[in-house]
Structure 1
Amino acid sequence: MIMELEPLTMGNEVIEFDMVGLGDDAVDDIQHQSVDEVEEEDGGDGEVEENHFLLNFYDPRSSHNSISGQVYTPQGDTNLEPYESMEFESEEAAKAFYNSYARRVGFSTRVSMSRRSRRDGAIIQRSFVCAKEGFRVDKDKPVRSDVRVKRPRAETRVGCKAMLVVKIQDSGRWVVSAFVREHNHELVPPDKVHCLRSHRHVSGSAKSLIDTLQGAGIGPSGIMSALIKEYGGISNVGFTERDCRNYMRSSRQRTLGGDTQHLLDYLRNKQTENSAFFYAVQGDEDQCMSNIFWADAKARANYTYFGDTVTFDTTYRSNRYRLPFAPFTGVNHHGQPVLFGCALLVNESEASFLWLFKTWLMAMSERPPVSITTDHDRVICLAVNQVFPETRHRFCKWHIFKEFQEKLSHVLSEHPNFEVELHKCVNLTESVEEFESCWLSLLNRYHLGDHEWLQAVYNDRRQWVPAYLRDAFFAEMSITQRSDSINSYFDGYINASTTLQLFVKQYEKALESRYEKEVKADYDSINNAPALKTPSPMEKQVAELYSRKLFLKFQEELVETLTFMATKVEDEGAITTYRVAKYGENHKSLHC
């Protein structure tokens, strides 16, 4: 409910009402309260960001105050609790003090109501409250009962009464006129308090370090690891990885300026030259910070031949702004990476990925792939599930192993054999049962059964462990190696220091190089007959049909079959059962 009331006047004071963000009960309460309770300052769930400056306030109980009334500055008294008649030199000092107190106790704060002077409009009273004060208006509630909200916001307000009210004095100082200590909810322990919104603050020194590491090509996860080490723990960093990502994105937007215009001009020219060239911009093209997607005629043609399986990767940061360059790639008939389109993303929100996947699908004639490989990312996963509901979605195993190195660095340093055993467990187990047994044994041996991140990736095992993916096509040359299509298409042409203006030229060079390699592989397949290793007619036939690269892979598998023996184990008339096993490995036999 939103109400607009005419300003009330009382003497030289004006009372302003702004009920946005308050529940109906709160509005009724305010209408019946005294005119001292006034303006809702932030109108919603927004909480005050902590300001870091010296907290100066007057303590009438202290013997250190001079007779002239100079402002008292406590040195090292971090346990002081607010009390009525406490004085501050400014409204900002009062806000910072209450927020500092809240951090120590374990709750988040926000600015609530204010009272203004009719004479000059200046604020003469402020109310700072617990972030769980009041009750939220359900803005997510649909107008019709048959409309379902896709992602309703979590309820954060529970009517907490904890608050601090300060009023300005004739002297210019601010005095506490009311203080409520009690909360009606559990407080946050010290090791979690840095997650509270009003205590999450990217300091100037942290921004400098983020800018430096970002310019060196390091991503948010790596930057947070460096910050945690620099500050001696996540609680000392003072913000979360999401805050780090948000700062990096806003930094990109500020720095980018009009450089995207070079790319847009290039795309318009390419479309003028060839009508099959496809490009799209999210929002208005005049907005320099829009997300951009494009696919040339060859990329679209490639997809018709090789589009059964697709790799989408956002970790290839292409320029000095750390703007995510996101190529769609696949594998051609020579096992070479082939391009299906590219994007430059200003941000990595769910809305951005939804727009990108829908746009890419439109450019590919609305034909979704059989399988898609992406980063191990929750937001990307949500977008894939919505746009490609029938596509088999796999997380890139190579990226997950990189996460292992970050999340389990302490285990790797203490147990050098752990990583080798982990790779064997994931890559060399041939059945689901064998993997499950091996994984459980590994966790028990290294006492990692309660590790939160390991439990999370285990829950996602059907999307990255090879034993669960044998029924889907991903065009990999082997189950253990990293897919060649990820990132490598532009290796040697684009790096963290590449500007957008240079990016266009390097992009063209990469396309030319990849095309030349494909032509060379075609020539070799046509003019160089491979050497046969068996008298099998099948091998000879395949040698005439397959490209050289894929024939060599087939030949390797064909020769490998010669090491397998089939032994009859049961004969029941029309049904005969054989045991098939590699020589010397009867314990891994199959019955067929």
Structure 2
Amino acid sequence: MATPNRSTNKKGVSDDWESNSESECCPSREDSHSNIFGGNDVEGEGEGSISSVDDSLHLLNDMEIVQMKFVSEEEASRFYNAYAKAMGFTVRKHKSKPHRGNEGYVKWRSWVCSREGAIPSEIMMLQSLHEAIPNMDHMRSQSGGFQNVGFTFSDLRNKLHRERTQEIRNGDAKGALGYLAAQVSNDPRFFFKYSVDEEDRLETLFWADGRSQMDYAASGDLLVFDTTYRTNAYKKPFVILAGVSNNFMTTIFGCALLSNETEETYNWVLATFLDAMDGKRPISVVTNGDLAMRNAIRNIFPHARHRICSWHLERNATKNVHRPEFVFYFTKLMQTECEVEEFESLWANMVSHYGLQTNAWVVEMYRDHERWAEAYLLGHFFAGMRTT
């Protein structure tokens, strides 16, 4: 009898990633779903579509699973892998016992969560250091002291810690992908897409649920592009793509986790967002003014009106021009509704009054004034939004 063993740790997924550098999951769009877990996660599952997993799998408890019987190892494997996907984790083969006298037959087989047996980082590090002590002692005796070895126990400990931290983060990334993949069975319109680097490490990740897509279809004329700079545990840029509903409430259209903030990466985010939203482009976009982001908007949304967040501009004015009175008047001028000619006159007088004609930041801001001065943005739709 084949008996699957369910582990309480559901965060791991298969170690086999597909070879393509980019994958997405959105079965509602021409069955474009990609199997992100490689070829070993669901053996003989038929079509292999996550969205085809029976919702009734969520109702099974541990005892019911343990008591199930299967006529073959393949049947047990198909069931348990389907169950794991429905619950948001993946499994791997663990132990088996061959049938005596019947070569090629398996008497029993067990499956475990793919994270089963992972050694805590502290224990692994201590074991690694313990095994390294004899080697370090030998090198010390051969070189005449630790100072001549070239690296110390501290160097070794730091290296092991960095490598182990990377392993943990990779595992968390796979767990996140497993969770997102499982959401498709509950939300057929759930969309996510990711890319990996040359070493198969997660590089970019975007997701948007069905509700977000409906909200964007109804009120997606304005797109607010907000980036939080490495405030999460993984020190990665986290992007929130939001807007304003017809009831003037903030609504989230999608999210992305990035490895860097290059123009190429932002191009990927906006192009993926466009794909998730059936090609609908916003009329206006509000960002923090990042140059790479600005170029990406020009590339992907060439006809959108771009506004720079007034809060970021005020903060940058404080950092770059150490004159509180200038910051006050700059902010006031930024928000003043007036004719273009009046703005130009007020700007020239302000810069002259504070002697900032050669200040690099002030010069740069004037080059961008059509993206932040209310005088130049009047008549364009921003739903009352000035900040991200």
| TM-score of the aligned structures, taking structure 2 as reference length | 0.55
1-side partners of 2:270 and 2:342: how far apart? 36
Q: Residue in 2 aligned with 1:582?
A: none
1:357 aligns with 2:246: no
Q: What do residues 527-555 of structure 1 show as CA deviations (whole Å, max 9, x unaligned)? A: xxxxxxxxxxxxxxxxxxxxxxxxxxxxx
1:80-479 alignment to 2 at 5 Å?
A: 256-283=169-196, 287-315=200-228, 317-409=230-322, 412=323, 416-476=324-384
Q: After TM superposition, give the deviation of residue 333 of structure 1 in Å.
A: 2.3
Q: Over alpha carbons, which structure has the higher Rg?
A: 1
Please say if residues 310 and 369 of structure 1, whose CA atoms lie closer than 8 Å, have aligned partners that are also in contact.
yes
The one-letter code of the counterpart of 2:381 is F
Task: Give, in angstroms, the shift of residue 417 of structure 1.
Answer: 2.1
SS at 1:290's partner residue? strand
User: CA-atom RMSD, angstroms?
Assistant: 2.3
Q: For residues 275-309 of structure 1, what are the alpha-carbon distances to aligned partners after superposition, in whole Å with 9 as ceiling and x for unaligned? A: 20000002479933320000000000000111001
Instruction: Show CA shifts across 1:333-392 (max 9, x none).
Output: 222110111000111111111111111001011010111111211111111111111111
Instruction: State the Cα distance separating 1:318 from its structure 2 match.
Output: 4.5
8 A Cα contact 2:287 2:309, kept in partner: yes
Distance 1:398 1:349 in 2: 23
Q: Is the 8 A contact 1:255 1:321 kept in 2?
A: no
Contact 2:337 2:378 in 1 (8 A): no
Pairwise CA distance, 1:262: 2.5
Cα shift at 1:268:
0.5
Identity of aligned residues (%): 36
Which has the larger helix fraction? Answer: 2
> Equivalent residue for 2:18?
none
Question: How many residues in Structure 1 have an aligned counterpart in Structure 2?
Answer: 225
CA distance, structure 2, for counterparts of residue 426 and residue 258 of structure 1? 47
What secondary structure, in the 3-state scheme, does the structure 2 residue paired with 1:372 have? Answer: strand
Distance 1:314 1:255, change over 3 A: farther
Contact 1:326 1:343 in 2 (8 A): yes
Question: In the aligned structure 2, how far is the partner of 1:309 from the partner of 1:301?
Answer: 14
In the alignment, the residues of structure 2 paired with residue 348 and residue 254 of structure 1 have an alpha-carbon distance, to the nearest angstrom, of 23
The letter for the 2-side match of 1:441 is: N
CA distance in structure 2 between the partners assigned to 1:399 and 1:422 by the alignment: 13
2:189 aligned counterpart, secondary structure: coil
Q: Distance in 2 between matches of 1:422 and 1:293?
A: 36
Any gaps of 5 or more consecutive residues in structure 2?
Answer: 1-164
Where structure 1 has 5 or more consecutive residues not aligned to the other structure, the ranges are 1-251, 487-592
SS of 2:303's partner is: coil
Q: Is the 8 A contact 2:333 2:373 kept in 1?
A: no
C-alpha spacing 1:449/1:255, structure 2 compared with 1 (3 Å): farther
Contact 1:253 1:289 in 2 (8 A): no
The alpha carbon displacement at 1:443 in A equals 0.7
**Bigger relative CO (Cα 8 Å, ≥ 6 apart):** 2
Deviations 1:104-160 (A, max 9, x none): xxxxxxxxxxxxxxxxxxxxxxxxxxxxxxxxxxxxxxxxxxxxxxxxxxxxxxxxx
Contact 1:253–1:346 (Cα < 8 Å) also in 2: no
Separation (CA, whole Å) in 1 of partners of 2:360 and 2:192: 42
AA of the residue aligned to 2:383: A
Q: Once the 2 structures are TM-superposed, how far is the Cα of residue 253 of structure 1 from its aligned partner?
A: 7.0
Q: What is the CA–CA distance in structure 1 between the aligned matches of 2:198 and 2:206, rounded to whole Å?
A: 12
8 Å CA contact 1:282–1:355 kept in 2: the answer is: no
Answer yes or no: is the 8 Å Cα contact 1:308–1:371 preserved in 2. Answer: yes
Q: Partners in 2 of 1:431 and 1:437 — Cα distance?
A: 10
Deviation at 1:394, TM superposition (A): 1.5
CA offset at residue 400 of structure 1?
A: 1.4
Distance change in 2, residues 1:320/1:445 (3 Å): same
Shift of 1:451: 0.9
| TM-score, normalising length: structure 1 | 0.36
Contact 1:258–1:288 under 8 Å retained in 2: no
Displacement of 1:401 in angstroms is: 1.3
